[in-house]
């Protein structure tokens, strides 16, 4: 009989997963990190390997997994457009088959399970900011649909298991998150801009840069994830997880140029397909239920991220 909480984190060597594994180890949990290393890096968890309470399993969750644990955090899935559009069929399989396999495991063990959903379920929203009650405006056959609809289907599965089998599920809709251990070439706006700025390359802004995004620092997001999972088991979500302070993409580019002291100029390019014009969470539920709001200011978080990216130059 083990006394420590044993936690399974799928996608555990990814950007968010590695930070979650680290935090759970700090809380004296035993952590099983599962990853197929398709888009993630072993370097993200290298510093955790000497810890005797940390275990790594190379596994693709589109196939069943048999382990004995007390909690599951299902974070496995490519999360940037470059990565999830590279193999859209595999992205859908990871979202759907992966969810079915992890829910099956949680059902067998009768344990709580968290699903890392996404703000992409809102598509190009016609409501701003986006509350959890908004059903979204998604193109079901567009280039982004493998991820958007994959995650929407996963949410449906989680709630179906909750209603049909009484499973303790938690569904969190994660908005733009940034920080150390982001993939330098994942095509996301923060990593793109920082890498372009520190290399002195033109900073690529799509459209006129007036589209807005809200950026949450990774430590703040992990804090909410833990609070959500550990409290109020009657509330399954969905729960918006992100920073409600939004900026235009042009403002972000200018801020990063200033922080890096870069001589990069801004290069305006055509907007990609189905790129949302605005995206920011309504976090009223996160605040009222968990007394959570982001603590890290954008400048502070960008400096931490910049320090991490400097080692790639």
Residues designated as active site: 147
To the nearest 10°, report the CA torsion of 40, 43, 47, 51: 50
Are the C-beta atoms of 203 and 257 separated by less than 8 Å? yes
Q: Residue 136: left (phi > 0), alpha (psi -120 to 50), or beta?
A: left
Strands 203-206 and 113-118, how do they pair?
unpaired
103 three-class SS: helix
CA–CA separation, 186 vs 190, rounded Å?
A: 10
Are the C-beta atoms of 269 and 209 separated by less than 8 Å? no
User: Residue 286's CB: how many other CB atoms inside 10 A?
Assistant: 23
At 122, list the tokens. 């809102």
CA–CA separation, 242 vs 122, rounded Å?
A: 14
CA–CA separation, 97 vs 61, rounded Å?
A: 8
């Amino acid at each position: 009989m083990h006394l420590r909480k044993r936690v399974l984190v799928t996608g555990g060597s990814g950007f968010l997963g590695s930070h979650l594994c680290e935090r759970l180890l700090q809380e004296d949990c035993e952590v099983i990190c599962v990853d197929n290393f398709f888009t993630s890096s072993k370097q993200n968890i290298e510093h955790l390997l000497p810890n005797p309470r940390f275990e790594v399993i190379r596994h693709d969750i589109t196939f069943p997994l048999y382990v004995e644990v007390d909690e599951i955090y299902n974070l496995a899935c490519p999360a940037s457009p470059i990565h999830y559009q590279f193999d859209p069929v595999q992205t859908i399989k990871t979202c759907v088959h992966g969810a079915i396999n992890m829910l099956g495991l949680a059902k067998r063990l009768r344990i709580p399970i968290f699903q890392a959903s996404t703000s992409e379920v809102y598509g190009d929203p016609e409501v701003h900011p986006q509350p959890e009650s908004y059903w979204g405006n998604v193109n079901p056959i567009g280039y982004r649909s493998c991820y958007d609809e994959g995650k929407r289907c996963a949410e449906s599965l989680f709630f179906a298991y909750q209603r049909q089998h009484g499973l303790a599920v938690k569904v969190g809709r994660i908005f733009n998150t940034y920080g150390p251990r982001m993939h330098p070439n994942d095509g996301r706006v923060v990593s793109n801009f920082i890498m372009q700025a520190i290399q002195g390359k033109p900073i690529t802004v799509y459209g006129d840069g007036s589209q807005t995004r809200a950026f949450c620092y990774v430590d703040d997001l992990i804090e909410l994830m833990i609070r959500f999972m550990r409290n109020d088991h009657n509330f399954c979500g969905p729960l918006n997880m992100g920073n409600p302070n939004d900026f235009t993409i042009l403002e972000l580019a200018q801020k990063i140029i200033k922080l890096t002291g870069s001589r990069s100029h801004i290069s305006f390019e055509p907007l990609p397909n189905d790129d949302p014009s605005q995206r920011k969470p309504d976090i009223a539920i996160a605040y009222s239920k968990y007394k959570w709001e982001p603590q890290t200011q954008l400048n502070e978080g960008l400096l931490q991220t910049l320090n991490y990216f400097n080692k790639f130059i």
